[in-house]
Structure 1
Amino acid sequence: MKAIVFDHIGPPLEVLRLAEVPVPQIKDNEVLVKMISAPISPGDFLFIENLYPEPKTPSFPQQIGGNHGAGIVQRAGKDVNIEPGTYVAFSYYNSWAEYAAIPAEWLMPLPSGFPPEKAGQFFNLITAWDLLEAARVKAGDWLALTAGNSTVSTMVLQFAKARNVNVISLVRRAHLSLEEMGASEVIELSSLSGSVGDRIAEITSNKGVSAVVDNVGGPVTGELIRRMAFGGQIIINGGMSAERFELHNFDVLLQGIEIRSHVYRYFFTPPHQSEMEELRQIAEASASPEFKVPVGGVNPLDQFKKAVSETLSHPERGKQFFQM
């Protein structure tokens, strides 16, 4: 089978290569998944450069790239209670290949007909759902999203809109029709004449935002925090900016603000059976054509250099996918 592999740590475009490798043999607790869709995500590059903590580290030689994907179960090990033909998503390893051997405990069943571009990045839908839950916003509140063009931010936006939460999307430059996805306001930082804080105050009639989901960092984050409503939540989900933000203790203390990090819930441990109903709800809430997932490109495995280059150079254009 074809697979995109790497044999040592380094920049993705330098170490990745297309290889012909054997179809994996499954163990008693595994299934063989025929891959349908696998995204290229920032976390995949962290894995290739060995920046994740143990145990999420590459194994050589011929470590297959990709940590997320979706496909159809072809065969199941003797200890697995899952039928061939089942449509599944997973967050594990080895998704940039025609087939993947996945421990059954990591599988998330999907409804038939669930769109492949959403199935391949079901982990992003879970993250967006969890970020909105962590923000603790209710109908009528204001929620600010940085990196508003990003896949996760557009998903948070749409889940929030369904709950009648007012959303302010902050972008460097507008690339997507975020208002059509449900944004109440879009702040384009490259053309903003005043400060972010003043614009937030204007939009919210000086109430401030009840929560911020921040994927960027830098001075804008500091401005957002200083314009939050009392008891606000700031959720740190990324750090695209190399700059830092500055705060005084009173910026947090006197406003009762809580600052927390967010880590994908299945980063270290697989889904539990008790979570399957919630995962079904996430799939149901995102399945309709009205729930938009920007797609930057769909690529065969042998076009990986183009797909990876586009992801590195223009992530704002939408997610790049491998389709097998």
Structure 2
Amino acid sequence: MKAIICQQFGLPDSLIYTEIPEPLLGNQEVMIRVFACAVNFPDVLIIQNKYQFKPELPFSPGGEVSGIIEQVGSDVKNLKKGQRVLALCGWGGFAEKVKVGADRVFPIPDEMDYVTAASTLYTFGTAYHALKDRAQIKSGETLLVLGASGGVGLAAVVLGKVLGAKVIAAASTADKLEICQKHGAEQLINYESEDLKERIKALTDGKGVDVILDVVGGKYADPALRGMAWKGRYLVVGFAAGEIPKLPFNLALLKGCSVMGVFWGRFSTEEPQQNQQNINELVEMIQQGKISQHIHKIYPLQEAPQALQDMLDRKIIGKAIVEID
């Protein structure tokens, strides 16, 4: 089968497009013929050996796929051959086939296309878990999204609007902010050209924001935390800027606020029933037309390294997808 392979840790241009044997199926796994695989920031990290999960070389990146089950392990009872599914595989998705543990595979409705399925699980799953389970955001509260034009960030903008929050989108360019506004952001901050702390103060009449969802980290975390309201919740989702910030925890004391980690992958393992409920709710929102993902571009399998480079260069607005024939 054809696949994109990481033979040595490095940047996207070190990946190769080649033929590899099909993976051997375990008793509690299913084999999926991949039709679409999402491009996520962890894919960029995992090929550089900078992610918390470290697969053995060689491997194929790509952690979020949709397709059809071709084979079912002998111990799998809840899934069947021919079923349309999406799956969180961790890695292995930039290939024609991938094996996945049955507990990481979720059926999709017949009316949902494969691109929609592959673009939904990681980003909307993360954002929904963050806002609903961790922050327990309430209608009328103010939500600030840092890195609002990325996959998780834009999903948070969309979901924040659905959940009744007043959404402030923060991103680095006017083009990115325009997309955020089209997806429900009421107020905008260009944190490359504006003072983030002062803009938060001005937009909230000095009150500050109730919830911050941060996928960027780096230099923006400190001024964002200083712009938090009393009893606010700071959601730590990722570090796309490349730097893990060192927050002054005296601010958490003075503001009575909480700093919360958001690790959707572990949540889905530790609390599978709640995660499945969240996915069911997201699928219903998609079917009702309440939420949708902005697709930046669809790349063929052989151009997956370019998709990862575009992610690394922060060119992607919304979600990029690798499509496999």
**After TM superposition, is the score higher than 0.5?**
yes
Match of 2:169 in 1: 169
Distance (whole Å) between structure 2 residues aligned to residue 165 and residue 268 of structure 1: 25
Alignment partner of 2:72 out of 72, 76, 85: 76
One-letter identity of the residue aligned with 2:96: E
One-letter identity of the residue aligned with 1:99: K
Pairs within 5 Å for 1:246-257: 249-257=249-257
Match of 1:284 in 2: 284
Distance (whole Å) between structure 2 residues aligned to residue 303 and residue 242 of structure 1: 24
Residues 19 and 316 of structure 1: CA distance in aligned 2, closer, same or farther (over 3 Å): closer
Match of 1:272 in 2: 272
Q: CA deviation at 1:228?
A: 1.6
Residue 12, structure 1, aligned to residue 12, structure 2: yes
Residue 118, structure 1, aligned to residue 120, structure 2: no
Q: CA deviation at 1:17?
A: 0.5
Question: What secondary structure does 2:264 align onto?
Answer: coil
Question: What secondary structure does 2:296 align onto?
Answer: strand
Structure 2 unaligned regions, length at least 5: none
- Whether the 8 Å contact between 2:138 and 2:165 is mirrored in structure 1 is yes
- Which stretch shifts more, 112-121 or 41-50? 112-121
Match of 1:49 in 2: 48
Question: What secondary structure does 2:25 align onto?
Answer: coil
- Whether the 8 Å contact between 2:44 and 2:308 is mirrored in structure 1 is no
Q: CA deviation at 1:236?
A: 1.3
Match of 1:32 in 2: 31
Q: CA deviation at 1:274?
A: 5.8
Distance (whole Å) between structure 2 residues aligned to residue 263 and residue 244 of structure 1: 15
Residues 196 and 114 of structure 1: CA distance in aligned 2, closer, same or farther (over 3 Å): same
Distance (whole Å) between structure 1 residues aligned to residue 276 and residue 110 of structure 2: 16
Question: What secondary structure does 1:231 align onto?
Answer: strand
Residues 243 and 158 of structure 1: CA distance in aligned 2, closer, same or farther (over 3 Å): same
Pairs within 5 Å for 1:167-316: 167-175=167-175, 176-192=178-194, 195-241=195-241, 249-266=249-266, 269=269, 272-273=272-273, 275-288=275-288, 291-316=291-316
Larger Rg: 1
Match of 1:3 in 2: 3
Q: CA deviation at 1:247?
A: 5.9
Q: CA deviation at 1:312?
A: 2.3
Q: CA deviation at 1:135?
A: 2.3
Distance (whole Å) between structure 2 residues aligned to residue 112 and residue 208 of structure 1: 44
Distance (whole Å) between structure 1 residues aligned to residue 33 and residue 245 of structure 2: 45
- Whether the 8 Å contact between 1:37 and 1:71 is mirrored in structure 2 is yes
One-letter identity of the residue aligned with 2:112: F
Aligned length: 318
- Whether the 8 Å contact between 2:168 and 2:187 is mirrored in structure 1 is yes
- Which stretch shifts more, 313-322 or 36-45? 313-322
Distance (whole Å) between structure 1 residues aligned to residue 270 and residue 95 of structure 2: 21
Residue 67, structure 1, aligned to residue 63, structure 2: yes
Match of 1:128 in 2: 127
Residues 163 and 320 of structure 1: CA distance in aligned 2, closer, same or farther (over 3 Å): closer
Residues 306 and 253 of structure 1: CA distance in aligned 2, closer, same or farther (over 3 Å): closer
Q: CA deviation at 1:260?
A: 2.2
Residues 123 and 247 of structure 1: CA distance in aligned 2, closer, same or farther (over 3 Å): closer
Structure 1 unaligned regions, length at least 5: none
Match of 1:97 in 2: 95
Match of 2:142 in 1: 142
Question: What secondary structure does 1:44 align onto?
Answer: helix
Question: What secondary structure does 1:31 align onto?
Answer: strand
Residues 146 and 256 of structure 1: CA distance in aligned 2, closer, same or farther (over 3 Å): same
Question: What secondary structure does 1:64 align onto?
Answer: coil
Residues 153 and 104 of structure 1: CA distance in aligned 2, closer, same or farther (over 3 Å): same
One-letter identity of the residue aligned with 2:182: E
- Which stretch shifts more, 217-226 or 128-137? 217-226
One-letter identity of the residue aligned with 1:118: T
For residues 63-95 of structure 1, the C-alpha deviation after alignment (integer angstroms, 9 at most, x for no partner) is: 222222111112212222212221211112311
- Whether the 8 Å contact between 2:154 and 2:318 is mirrored in structure 1 is no
Question: What secondary structure does 1:269 align onto?
Answer: helix
Distance (whole Å) between structure 2 residues aligned to residue 248 and residue 63 of structure 1: 39
- Whether the 8 Å contact between 1:30 and 1:103 is mirrored in structure 2 is yes
- Whether the 8 Å contact between 1:297 and 1:318 is mirrored in structure 2 is no
